[in-house]
Amino acid sequence: MEYETIAAAVDAEQEISRSRFLVRLERVEGEAAAREVIARVRSEHPRARHHCSAFVLGPDGRVQRSNDDGEPSGTAGAPMLDALVSAGLSDVVAVVTRYFGGVLLGAGGLTRAYRSTVAIATQRATRQRRGLRRSVILRCAYDIAPQIEAEARRRGYAVGAAHYSDRVAQSFALAEEEIGPFTSLAAELSAGAAEVEVGPADYVDLAARER
């Protein structure tokens, strides 16, 4: 399973009927981190009237939260959350800070303002695709390691760090369907001398060639 998040934080703003709407869109790893971002943005704008928020978490986007922060119920957090879900993003939090301009926008106006402000940020964001990959350690002789690494890179496998002792221990992050071919590759190039240790699976950022 793969999903998309953002590569870096995004700030944007728009003015509607003299009210300023400022959005911060950040990548987060969990609910605690999302709430830390919300608290930080609130501290950066202590004079603002509202700091509405929404976040989506997890590979399947199952964790979804939103908060109107004093705006009429359903006019801020829910449309912000809808903008994130519609953009197909997860592991992200959006905080919209509103500086009231003296003109009432009404429920419909608020809903459109909060949703469009978050949508601006999602459109500007650089996307990062994530996928489930299994940690694999290859142990082999020094003269074989460069050959296996070169062929692994040619096939688009994700190559990690190497550690050197009496043998080379090279790490890889492989999709489930890549483990068999990689094991065969290592056996072929090392005449069966290489050892392949398959570890746990976790979500990692994917390079362009892996997407």
Would you say the C-alpha torsion 32, 38, 42, 44 has a positive or negative sign? Answer: positive
Same domain for 6 and 83: yes
Q: What are phi and psi of 68, to 5 degrees?
A: -80, -15
What does the pLDDT read at residue 209? 54
- Residue-averaged pLDDT of the chain: 95
Same domain for 172 and 81: no
**pTM of the predicted structure, to 2 decimals:** 0.85
Measured CA to CA, the distance from residue 16 to residue 112 in angstroms comes to 10
Q: What is the CATH number of the domain that holds 194?
A: 3.30.70.240
| Domain span holding position 85 | 2-125
Same domain for 91 and 190: no
Which of 73, 106, 125 terminates a domain? The answer is 125
What does the pLDDT read at residue 207? 79
Q: What is the CATH number of the domain that holds 58?
A: 3.30.230.30
Same domain for 140 and 108: no
Would you say the C-alpha torsion 21, 25, 31, 37 has a positive or negative sign? Answer: negative
Torsion of CA 207, 157, 89, 93, to 10 degrees: -70
Q: Which of 69, 34, 30 is nearest to 48 (CA)?
A: 69
* pLDDT band, residue 133 (cuts 50/70/90): very high
Q: State mean pLDDT over 86-94.
A: 98
Same domain for 81 and 30: yes
Same domain for 118 and 50: yes
Same domain for 170 and 200: yes
Which of 62, 92, 125 terminates a domain? The answer is 125
| DSSP 8-state assignment for residue 207 | P
3-state secondary structure of 204: strand
Same domain for 135 and 97: no
What does the pLDDT read at residue 102? 83
What does the pLDDT read at residue 103? 84
Same domain for 6 and 84: yes
What does the pLDDT read at residue 136? 98
Residue 173 has pLDDT above 60, yes or no: yes
DSSP letter string over 84-134? Answer: HHHTTB-SEEEEEEEE--S---HHHHHHHHHHHHHHHHHHHSPEEEEEEEE
Which of 79, 101, 125 terminates a domain? The answer is 125
Same domain for 155 and 104: no
Same domain for 144 and 99: no
Work out how many domains the chain is built from and give that number. Answer: 2
What does the pLDDT read at residue 208? 67
Same domain for 107 and 25: yes
> Which stretches within the chain are classed as H helix?
31-44, 77-86, 106-124, 145-154, 176-189
* pLDDT band, residue 1 (cuts 50/70/90): confident
Q: State mean pLDDT over 101-121.
A: 94
